[in-house]
C-alpha cells in the first residue's frame, strides 16, 4: 500500500496548502496558499525538502492523524499547538517520526492562529492549476474532514527526524511595517498619522481572505471614496471598508475591490497579521521604500538560511513532559516591539 496520512478527526479549519497559484489574477483567482509562508518554509527546512511542497494548515485547532502504509517523517510549525504521538507529548517547531499505525494528535493553538503539519515528501493531493492549495474563496478544493486519506509524496530519502529550529515569535500581534498603496494619497495627512498612532486589535471577524481591525476613534475614510472604480487588490493591502474600519487582505482575498486602500503590509510581515488572534494588538508603521526593501531582502535571506539553521532537539522531548510550556516561556515577547521579525 502506498503511504498516506489519514485524517481520523478534523478541526473545522484544516486544509491542504502550499505556496499557492500565482499567475491567475487575470482570470480572477488570487494567489491563495499558506497563511503563514514562513511556517511553510520552516517545515520544509526541518524535513530537508523543497519549500513548495504541500502541508496541512490548521486554523486554531488540529485533529488526529494516522500514518498508513508506512512510517512518515513529520514536522510541526506555525502557531504552537499541543501535540502528541501515541499519547506522548512531542515538541513544536520540530520534526518527528510517525510510525505506521501511530496516531498524531494535535490540539488547540496556545498562541497564534495557524499551525502546520508537514510530511516528508509533502502531501501529494492532485494539483489544480499548478497548486495543491485549497482556495475556498475561488471554489477550488475543500476543507479536510475525518476519513480523508491524503497521499504522501516520495520522501527525499533522508531519515533524519528530531530536529528543531528557533523561530521568531509572530503569534500575538505586534507592529507591522507598511508602504503606500493606490489610494494612500487620498487620505488626509492627519488620518495617516492617526493610522500609525492607533492601537488596533484583531477583530473576531477574519479568515484566510483577510482580517478586520477594531479600534477606538473616528472611521478612516478617503476623499471621494464612493467614486473609486473596482480595481485589482493584493494580499497585504489594507482596505478602509464602508464603516471606516481597516481590513487587511490575506492571500485568499478576492481579486478586485472598490474600497480605498490606506497602505500595504510588507510581504514578509503579513504572517504577523494572519497569526494574530482576536484581541491581539496590532500597529502599523509606514517605512520608506528603501527601508522596506532592506526588510524584504533580509527576510529572503532568512528564508534561504533556514535549512542551515536546524539543529537536533537537545534532549529527547519524551523525557521532558513540560517541554511545550518551557519553550513558550522562552519565546514570549512584548508583542508590540519595534521589529517583529
Partner 1 sequence: MDRPADSFPVIRDVGLTGILVTFSDTLTEAANRAALAFRAAVEAEGWPGVEETATSLTSVFLRFDPLTLEHDVFTGRLQGLIADRDWPAVPLPEGRSLWRIPVTLGGSYGPQFEEAAQAAGLSPEDAEASIAAARIRVLTIGFAPGQPYMGQLGPEWDIPRLTELTPRVPQGALIAAIRQLIIFQRPAPTGWRHIGQTAFRCYRPGTPEPFPLTPGDEVTFRLIGPEEYEAILDSDGTGDGGATREVLP
Contact residues for partner 1, defined by CB under 8 A: 22-29, 128-129, 138-140, 179-186, 227-232, 234, 236-237, 254-256, 261, 264-267, 289, 292-293, 296-297, 300
Name the residue among 16, 147, 153, 167 with its Cα closest to residue 73. 153
Q: Which is nearer to partner 1, 38 or 265 (CB)?
A: 265
Nearer to partner 1, 202 or 261 (CB): 261
Query: In 238-332, which ranges are continuous DSSP H helix?
Result: 270-275, 289-305, 323-331
**Closer Cβ to partner 1, 241 or 254, answer by number:** 254
Q: Which residues fall within 8 angstroms of residue 336, CB to CB, at 6 or more apart?
A: 173, 174, 175, 281, 283
Q: At its nearest, how many Å lie between partner 1 and the CB of residue 227?
A: 7
Nearer to partner 1, 222 or 310 (CB): 222
Q: Is the CB of 110 or the CB of 186 nearer to partner 1?
A: 186
Question: Minimum Å distance from CB 84 to partner 1?
Answer: 38
Query: What is the C-alpha separation between 98 and 75, in angstroms, rounded?
Result: 10
Nearest to 222 by CA among 185, 255, 195, 194: 185
Cβ 213 to partner 1 shortest distance, Å: 17
Question: In a 3-state reduction of DSSP, which class is residue 224?
Answer: coil
Minimum distance, C-beta of residue 307 to partner 1, in the bound complex (Å): 20
Q: What cell does 167 get?
A: 523561530
Asked if 200 contacts 215 with a C-beta cutoff of 8 angstroms, the reply is yes
Shortest Å distance, C-beta 180 to partner 1? 6
Residue 194 has phi, psi (to 5 degrees) of: -65, -35
Tell me the CA distances in angstroms from 84 to 19, 40, 95, 101, one per residue in order.
27, 20, 12, 14
Quick one: 24 or 200, whose CB is closer to partner 1?
A: 24
Q: Is the Cβ of residue 1 or residue 27 nearer to partner 1 in the bound state?
A: 27
Q: Regarding beta strands 103-109 and 81-85, do their DSSP bridges make them parallel or antiparallel, or are they unpaired?
A: antiparallel
Report, in Å, the least distance between residue 172 CB and partner 1.
24
Closest approach, Cβ 231 to partner 1, in A, equals 5
Taking the complex as a whole, the smallest distance from the CB of residue 296 to partner 1 amounts, in Å, to: 6
* Closer residue to partner 1 (CB): 206 or 257: 257
Q: What is the dihedral of CA 139, 145, 147, 148, to 10 degrees?
A: 40
Neighbours of 126 (CB within 10 A): 7
All three cell numbers of 87: 499519547
- Nearest distance from residue 128's CB to partner 1, in Å? 6
The nearer residue to partner 1, 145 or 232, going by C-beta atoms, is 232
Q: Virtual CA dihedral for 114, 115, 121, 124, nearest 10 degrees?
A: -50
Amino acid at each position: 500500500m502506498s503511504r498516506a496520512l489519514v485524517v481520523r478527526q478534523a478541526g473545522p479549519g484544516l486544509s491542504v496548502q502550499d505556496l499557492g497559484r500565482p499567475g491567475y489574477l487575470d482570470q480572477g483567482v488570487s494567489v491563495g496558499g499558506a497563511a503563514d509562508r514562513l511556517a511553510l518554509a520552516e517545515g520544509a527546512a526541518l524535513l530537508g525538502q523543497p519549500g513548495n511542497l504541500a502541508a496541512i494548515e490548521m486554523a486554531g485547532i488540529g485533529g488526529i492523524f494516522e500514518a498508513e502504509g508506512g512510517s512518515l517523517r513529520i514536522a510541526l510549525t506555525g502557531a504552537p499547538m499541543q501535540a502528541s504521538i501515541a499519547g506522548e507529548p512531542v515538541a513544536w517547531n520540530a520534526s518527528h517520526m510517525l510510525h505506521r499505525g501511530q496516531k498524531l494528535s494535535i490540539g488547540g493553538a496556545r498562541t497564534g492562529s495557524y499551525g502546520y503539519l508537514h510530511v516528508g515528501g509533502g502531501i501529494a493531493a492532485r494539483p489544480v492549476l499548478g497548486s495543491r492549495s485549497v482556495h475556498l474563496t475561488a471554489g477550488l478544493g475543500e476543507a479536510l474532514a475525518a476519513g480523508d486519506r491524503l497521499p504522501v509524496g516520495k520522501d527525499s530519502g533522508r531519515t533524519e527526524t528530531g530536529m528543531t529550529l528557533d523561530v521568531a515569535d509572530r503569534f500575538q500581534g505586534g507592529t507591522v511595517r507598511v508602504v503606500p498603496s493606490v489610494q494612500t494619497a487620498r487620505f488626509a495627512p492627519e488620518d495617516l498619522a492617526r493610522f500609525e498612532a492607533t492601537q488596533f486589535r484583531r477583530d473576531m471577524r477574519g479568515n484566510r481572505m483577510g482580517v478586520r481591525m477594531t479600534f477606538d476613534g473616528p472611521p478612516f475614510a478617503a476623499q471621494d471614496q464612493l467614486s473609486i472604480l473596482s480595481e485589482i487588490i493584493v494580499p497585504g493591502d489594507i482596505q478602509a471598508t464602508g464603516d471606516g474600519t481597516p481590513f487587511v487582505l490575506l492571500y485568499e482575498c478576492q481579486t478586485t475591490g472598490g474600497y480605498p486602500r490606506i497602505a500595504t503590509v510588507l510581504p514578509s510581515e503579513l504572517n504577523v497579521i494572519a497569526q494574530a488572534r482576536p484581541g491581539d494588538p496590532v500597529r502599523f508603521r509606514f517605512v520608506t521604500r528603501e527601508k522596506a526593501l532592506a526588510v524584504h531582502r533580509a527576510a529572503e535571506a532568512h528564508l534561504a538560511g533556514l535549512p542551515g539553521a536546524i539543529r537536533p532537539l537537545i534532549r529527547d522531548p519524551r523525557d521532558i513532559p513540560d517541554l511545550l510550556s518551557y519553550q513558550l516561556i522562552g519565546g514570549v515577547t512584548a508583542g508590540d516591539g519595534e521589529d517583529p521579525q
